[in-house]
């Protein structure tokens, strides 16, 4: 019995490389360039796939993205081409969350590979997460996919390059006004003493 289980174990070890999929690590830099990936829920659960490494007659390998940040930066992920796909995004194996649920629109149902337009269009799923300084390995998979397969992209942008939402600007303005009013009141009390 020992020999049979040993031979079975050895056969499994020898066959393992034939089942392993190639994995590609794509380096990212902070900037405005998008790095594209493919996805197909029929290929191993919908992991992100390399758009450049497609073996002849086979499926593209799993892809991850690596970035080393000197300071905090935003990670942006967006769907494109046909709308409707949602992704779960990970940094160093920890879930950052899901991209947004797209608002379906027949007008915006096909945007092509204009990722900068897609990230600002509610018809396309997108997400943005603040990454702290350090090294990050970004991975993900598709969690909702109305089409058989698709393409999307990600990028890392400097914190100063991302404008504050309108509500945040209003909140900061209100805080500044309160601070100025408090200062005036304090000066007035000092003058009356």
The CATH number of the domain where 60 resides is what? 2.60.120
Q: Quick one: pLDDT at residue 107?
A: 56
Question: Does 4 fall in a domain?
Answer: no
Rounded to two decimals, what is the model's pTM?
0.69
Q: Quick one: pLDDT at residue 90?
A: 97
Q: How far apart are CA 84 and CA 91, in angstroms?
A: 23
Q: Quick one: pLDDT at residue 146?
A: 82
Question: Does 27 fall in a domain?
Answer: yes
Range of the domain at 39: 19-186
Question: Does 80 fall in a domain?
Answer: yes
Question: Does 42 fall in a domain?
Answer: yes
Counted domains in the chain:
1
Question: Does 14 fall in a domain?
Answer: no
Q: How far apart are CA 77 and CA 69, in angstroms?
A: 17
Q: How far apart are CA 85 and CA 111, in angstroms?
A: 13
Answer for the pair 140, 87: CB distance below 8 angstroms, yes or no.
yes
Q: Quick one: pLDDT at residue 40?
A: 80
Q: Quick one: pLDDT at residue 174?
A: 64
Question: Does 193 fall in a domain?
Answer: no
Question: Does 171 fall in a domain?
Answer: yes
Q: How far apart are CA 170 and CA 37, in angstroms?
A: 37
Low pLDDT (below 50) residues in the chain: 1-21, 164, 166-167
């Amino acid at each position: 019995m020992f020999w049979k289980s040993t031979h079975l174990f050895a056969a499994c070890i020898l066959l393992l490389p034939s089942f392993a999929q190639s994995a590609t690590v794509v380096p990212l830099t902070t900037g405005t360039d998008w790095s594209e990936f493919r996805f197909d829920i029929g290929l191993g659960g919908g992991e992100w796939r390399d758009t450049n490494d497609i073996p002849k007659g086979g499926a593209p390998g799993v892809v991850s993205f690596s970035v080393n940040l000197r300071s905090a930066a935003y990670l942006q992920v967006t769907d494109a081409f046909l709308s409707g796909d949602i992704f779960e995004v990970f940094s160093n194996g920890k879930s950052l969350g899901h991209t947004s649920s797209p608002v379906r629109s027949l007008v915006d149902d096909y945007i092509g590979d204009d990722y900068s337009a897609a990230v600002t269009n509610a018809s396309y799923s997108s997400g943005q997460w603040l990454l702290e300084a350090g090294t990050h390995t970004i991975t993900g998979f598709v969690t909702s996919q109305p089409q058989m397969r698709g393409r999307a992209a990600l990028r890392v942008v400097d914190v100063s390059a991302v404008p504050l939402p309108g509500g945040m600007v209003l909140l900061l303005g209100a805080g500044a006004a309160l601070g100025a009013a408090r200062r005036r009141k304090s000066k007035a009390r000092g003058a009356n003493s």
